Amino acid sequence: MNTQRVKDILRLEPQGNVLSVSGWIRTKRDAKNISFLELNDGSCLQNLQVVIDREAFEPKSALDLMQTGASVEVSGTLSASPGGNQRVELTARSVQVIGPAPADTYPLQKKRHTFEFLREIAHLRPRTNTFGAVARVRNAASFAVHRFFQERGFVYVHTPVITASDAEGAGEMFQVTTLDLDRLSKGGKPDYEQDFFGKPAYLTVSGQLNAEIYACALERVYTFGPTFRAENSNTTRHLAEFWMIEPEMAFCDINCNMDTAESFIKYVLAEILSGSSEDMEFFNLRIQPGLIESLQQVVDTPFARVTYTEAMKELQSSGFQFEFPVEWGSDLQSEHEKFLTEQVYKGPVIVTDYPKEIKAFYMKQNDDGKTVRAMDVLVPRLGEIIGGSQREEDLTRLEARIRELGLREEAYWWYLDLRRFGTVPHAGFGLGFERLIQYVTGMQNIRDVIPFPRTVKSADF
């Protein structure tokens, strides 16, 4: 007799199999002489029904400890369930309560809790249906991400978390230091020579610049790691710490970049729809009606592709009153992104060729002198899910842009070297992993698709 997972037990043919299983009690229901435990071990959404004959059960004191939240190990016999809700059930021979969970203090009782409340108990929320399902889908999605790139000959490169350069040039970085801030605050300027790295250092906002180094040697690479942004955006789609997938490809232009991004999203969605069907049906039923159908449609339909200028014209001619201005040169706000994906194109849209002023320094400049070869992938419900571009591979133009923006040229000497020695057209993009999980699960708030969210004034757990 060995301990099995609920997911596997539920698939067995009930033939009087003797087995044991462990997990947490979700609920207990008492009938006349019988108690029913709903046992969950996180291996799948569904619980295993455990049947206990109270008359015969010893010790009787253990019966009282079998309450919501308690951890137990059960041994028994698997049989066909006469009740209509499940195919099989386990008739207990023995139940050992390993860790009780007193009903008067255990916060997760049978009722439905709000996501806001569950955020305050992030140490217990994975024991709910929703957060268990999010964790499993997140796991399945990361596996699919790796499979997509591995099947296509991309090399996984581990780019650094601590960096001295601002990859996006947006200045939204968390500083990393061993200097004593208390002492510093009593006067004087920081002496960075005395700091750990001998100069200011930060948590990375993107692995891209380092990925470019490896792409300019191995041709196809990707990173998948945590990134950090000290943006003061308290929205349902921003985190201070989020995971990003960043492929980078040499000998690849913006069209090849768009093709990769589109097949990448479709691949991951298709893998989840087929491999995580039980959890997806839950999201479809409880979180976002119509979810499965809409994702399947995304898999089956080519993405719309338009330039920023065309997108602006669509917005302007819509006659819709937007809160933010729709003028050539201004950035697309999330209301514009929603309008384009939900009203105009009714599906994902790839927007290219943005004004250079609203994009990062490294993007390839178009011959019009005004736009760059950027590409953002926008999706319904969420807006931007991918940001990327072809990179400027021309040394002179890149140097000029760095100077124009007042960036410290010395800090980028190695980045410029890639253009000095054997430069190639290359391109890449970044997919926000949590935004992808939001999109796939239909969860409204990004804080609910990462195990431990870090946001402004919040880094508990």
Q: Which positions lie near ligand 4AD, rule CB under 6 A?
A: 167-168, 206, 208, 229, 231, 238-239, 242, 244, 246, 384-388, 428-430, 432, 434-435
The separation between CA 53 and the C-alpha centre of its own chain, rounded to angstroms, equals: 44
Please state the φ and ψ torsions of residue 196, each to the nearest 5 degrees: -50, -45
Minimum CB separation from ligand 4AD for residue 223, in Å? 8
Nearer Cβ to ligand 4AD, position 88 or 164? 164
Minimum CB separation from ligand 4AD for residue 163, in Å? 12
Could you say which of ligand 4AD, Mg ion, none residue 340 binds, taking C-beta under 5 to 8 angstroms by partner kind? none
Q: How far apart are CA 282 and CA 290, in angstroms?
A: 11
Give the pair of three-digit tokens for residue 399. Answer: 């140097």
Residue 31 CB neighbour total at 10 angstroms: 9
Give me the residue label for tokens 């390993």.
98
Give the pair of three-digit tokens for residue 236. Answer: 């349902």
Nearer Cβ to ligand 4AD, position 23 or 383? 383
Could you say which of ligand 4AD, Mg ion, none residue 238 binds, taking C-beta under 5 to 8 angstroms by partner kind? ligand 4AD
| Angle 4-128-19 from CA coordinates, rounded to 5° | 15
Minimum CB separation from Mg ion for residue 384, in Å? 6
C-beta of residue 433 within 8 angstroms of C-beta of residue 141: yes
Cβ neighbours for 193, distance < 8 A, ≥ 6 positions apart: none
Minimum CB separation from Mg ion for residue 224, in Å? 18
Minimum CB separation from ligand 4AD for residue 387, in Å? 2
**Full strand arrangement of the beta sheet holding 162-163:** 162-163, 201-203, 175-176
DSSP 15: S
Determine whether 87 is exposed, middle or buried from the number of CB atoms within 10 Å of its CB (0-12, 13-18, 19+).
Answer: middle
Cβ neighbours for 148, distance < 8 A, ≥ 6 positions apart: 264, 267, 268
H/E segment holding residue 258: helix 254-275
The separation between CA 232 and the C-alpha centre of its own chain, rounded to angstroms, equals: 20
- How many residues bind Mg ion (CB under 5 A)? The answer is 1
Could you say which of ligand 4AD, Mg ion, none residue 73 binds, taking C-beta under 5 to 8 angstroms by partner kind? none
CA nearest to 125, candidates 457, 450, 439:
450
Q: How far apart are CA 400 and CA 311, in angstroms?
A: 29
Nearer Cβ to Mg ion, position 221 or 332? 332
Q: How far apart are CA 252 and CA 261, in angstroms?
A: 12
Nearer Cβ to Mg ion, position 225 or 383? 383
Could you say which of Mg ion, ligand 4AD, none residue 24 binds, taking C-beta under 5 to 8 angstroms by partner kind? none
Nearer Cβ to ligand 4AD, position 108 or 265? 265
Could you say which of ligand 4AD, Mg ion, none residue 434 binds, taking C-beta under 5 to 8 angstroms by partner kind? ligand 4AD
Minimum CB separation from ligand 4AD for residue 49, in Å? 40
225 binds Mg ion (CB under 5 A): no
CA nearest to 379, candidates 270, 301, 279:
301
Pairing type for strands 349-355 and 18-30 reads: unpaired
Minimum CB separation from ligand 4AD for residue 225, in Å? 12
Nearer Cβ to ligand 4AD, position 127 or 336? 336
Could you say which of ligand 4AD, Mg ion, none residue 244 binds, taking C-beta under 5 to 8 angstroms by partner kind? ligand 4AD
Binding mask 378-417 for Mg ion (x = CB under 5 A): ---------x------------------------------
Q: How far apart are CA 279 and CA 45, in angstroms?
A: 7
Minimum CB separation from ligand 4AD for residue 386, in Å? 5
Minimum CB separation from ligand 4AD for residue 202, in Å? 14
Nearer Cβ to ligand 4AD, position 149 or 242? 242
Nearer Cβ to Mg ion, position 69 or 387? 387
Nearer Cβ to ligand 4AD, position 208 or 260? 208
Q: Which residues bind Mg ion (CB under 5 A)?
A: 387
